[in-house]
Amino acid sequence: MTTMHHPLLVLIIILFIEIINCQVAFKSLCSSEEVEVAGMASVDGSNEFEIDLYQSKFLPEDTVSLSIKQKRRNYAINEFVLHAFDYDGNVIGRFDNTQTGDLTLNHHTCSNGANVVYADQVGSRGYSEVPLEWKATGIHHNLDQVVFRATVVSNRQLYRLISAPLKRRLSSEIIPYHDQSINIDYCGESQGCLIVPQQCNNDAKCDYALSWQAIDAETAKFHIVARAQGFVGVGFSNDEKRGDDQVILCTKDAEGYVYVHNMFVGVQTPQYVFRGRPSYGLREADSYSNATHIICKFSRSLSPHTENLGENDGRSRDRIDREKFVDLKKPHFMYPIYSDEGLMTAQGMRIPLQDIAIVNNHPVDFERRIWPKTHPQAASVLAKIHAILNIIAWVLLASAGVMVGRYFDSLWPDYERLTVVDSATGAVTGEKYQQRRRFSYFTIVPPLMIVVAILTWIAFFCILFELDWKWTYGTHHMWHSILGVVVLICAFFAPIVGVMRPIPRTKSYCVWYWIHWVIMSLAHCLAIPVIFLGMDNRRLDLWTWCSWLLFAWCIFHFIVQLIFEIHACCHARQEYDRLQGVEHYSEKNVELRIRKERIPGESWKPALLGIYLCITLVVVIILILAVIFYQGY
């Protein structure tokens, strides 16, 4: 019996020693100096962990939710200490949590009555997130900012952390100037918008205005300004029906303060996404109110919120229903929420939905619609090649081809019209014939259109390769793509139809002429709007002056074409009469004196064409340089 007691005693001693070694002894818990642990080095932990505040403002006696969490996969959070400090480095407020999940928390009370929360022994493999609550009790009335500091033990290493400032709420009725309104002029350019009524503008009094903008590839920030005294918000839905949606609500209390809540609204009962943490999943929440409006700002992840308190092996502990979060990276619907009535009633929390039609009648695609115009990175080389080739093809070459083919067929015809002159008297005999020209409009237009087709197809394959051979999506990009494909098809058939030209002044020639005219006109009329759309997207978002320059060129092109068109209409009958009774072979009249027949406009039309081509070339060069030197702005 004695023999069996010895191994058991040794095992108990070993277990006791292991428990002692696992327990971390923190020093200087109430001091403004760094917390120390014997035998462990201290380093900056901002790249590995963070203190995440789920509220950006506080009032005295408020309870603030926050957490210590991993920023990336590492050895996880083991032991830790967390303090709240004022300007002078004094510990303030209280942490009253005794346990979070299965983690037992300890508290150390300082001389001023404030306390520090810590965990000095973690038996599991560590945590990816530790949620906590801090109460702003005993706060001096002049204190307007609190900073949290933490020391985290991970893999026998101390990591120092510091939070963003937690600022005191401004008095009700005070709203910072830059948050008071939303500039609707920027809607569709640097921000997405949802407004009620839809026709309101900056001069009108919109009932509701929501703007959103990307912070980065994973996060978007929202700004709501609504005429309401109860609550305002926005609903995210996977379909066009209300109910079973994620809703962000900004509710006003009796004292005029506004609080931001992340909620899930079912068919009958609204509830918080995470009970006890109303703003769970939201960042940088800020809100104000005055006598007429409620203003609300917040940021949230585009993907469903996936933070959790879990073991380092990935097992979830928070038991949050991930289906409650709408994935904003997928097309979805949005609807406005605003009311003068309070959210809470005698029967409990009411459903915050109203009979307002969903303003956007198509799904919103956040990845394609909310990127700011101020891009930090330059466009890709392939996107620039795509833009340059299309500008050369359609602004310069196709425009020149259209002008020459439509208005210079009589000035530069296939056959030069000649009149016969009496050798003795010098008088015109009235006999006419034609002589084939080596240079004519027909030797210019088909080669030009062949080059246009080649450049267009090369540009198409460049952008297709850039997009990894996938079809683009989003309303703005969809129209650029659809119209671009129509132009691409027309560019392919235009030179083919052009070289199939039948004998002039026949019925088949008339049919051919109109077919070729429709193809060329459709391609050219769509190509310029496609270029306009291409100037305003994420891959190559050129400066606004580039669009104005192209718009000015379009007006110039229209004026020149109008001049040519009016001249052609005025001389249409004269042109028809000259075509009658013409011989095609000069060999029949070899001994007669001939002279070139005078063509209306031959003195000024080439000059106007030259001016048009020079100005167009300058515009094209400027646009090409803008594309080349574009590095984001």
Contacts of 493 (CB under 8 A, 6+ apart): 519
Provide φ and ψ at 213, rounded to 5°. -155, 145
460 touches 484 (CB < 8 A): yes
Q: Quote the pLDDT of residue 177.
A: 56
Listing DSSP states for 330-377 in one string gives S-BEEEEEEESS-SEETTEEPP---S---S-SS-B-HHHH---S--SS
H or E element that contains 628? helix 605-629
Phi-psi region of 244 (alpha: psi -120 to 50; beta: other; left: phi over 0): left
Listing DSSP states for 440-451 in one string gives -GGGTHHHHHHH
Q: Quote the pLDDT of residue 429.
A: 46
Q: Quote the pLDDT of residue 180.
A: 72
For 509-543, the pLDDT digits (tens) are 788 878 888 888 888 888 888 888 877 665 666 77
* 381-629 under CATH 1.20.120, yes or no: yes
DSSP state at residue 489: H
CATH level 2 (architecture), domain 26-167: Sandwich (2.60)
> Could you give the residue ranges of the DSSP H alpha helices within 445-537?
445-466, 475-499, 507-534
The Cβ of residue 430 has, within 10 Å, a number of other Cβ atoms equal to 8
The Cβ of residue 238 has, within 10 Å, a number of other Cβ atoms equal to 16
Q: Alpha-carbon Rg of the chain, whole angstroms?
A: 38
Q: Quote the pLDDT of residue 127.
A: 86
CATH fit for domain 177-369, picks 2.60.40, 1.20.120, 1.20.950, 1.10.10: 2.60.40
Q: Quote the pLDDT of residue 374.
A: 40
Question: Closest Cα to residue 91, out of 44, 132, 48, 140?
Answer: 140
3-state class of 474 per DSSP? coil
For 566-606, the pLDDT digits (tens) are 888 887 655 545 444 444 444 444 444 444 556 777 788 88
Q: How far apart are the first and last CA of the chain?
A: 84
Q: Which two tokens stand for residue 218?
A: 């994973």
Domains 26-167 and 177-369 agree in fold:
yes
Residues in the chain: 633
The whole-angstrom separation of Cα 344 and Cα 137 is: 26
The whole-angstrom separation of Cα 19 and Cα 142 is: 45
Residue ranges of domains in the chain: 26-167, 177-369, 381-629
DSSP state at residue 186: G
Contacts of 83 (CB under 8 A, 6+ apart): 29, 91, 116, 148, 149, 150
Q: Quote the pLDDT of residue 534.
A: 79
Write the CA distances from 517 to 300, 507, 509, integer angstroms: 53, 16, 12
The mean pLDDT of the chain is 76
Q: Quote the pLDDT of residue 187.
A: 73
Q: Quote the pLDDT of residue 403.
A: 86
- Which residue is associated with the tokens 């209280």? 94
3-state class of 566 per DSSP? helix
Contacts of 483 (CB under 8 A, 6+ apart): 526, 529, 530, 533
| Parts of the chain with a pLDDT under 70 | 1-23, 124, 171-179, 185, 188-189, 198-199, 201-204, 267-270, 272-277, 304-324, 344-379, 413-442, 470-477, 504-505, 536-541, 572-598, 631-633
For 97-142, the pLDDT digits (tens) are 888 878 889 999 998 889 999 988 877 678 888 889 999 998 888 8
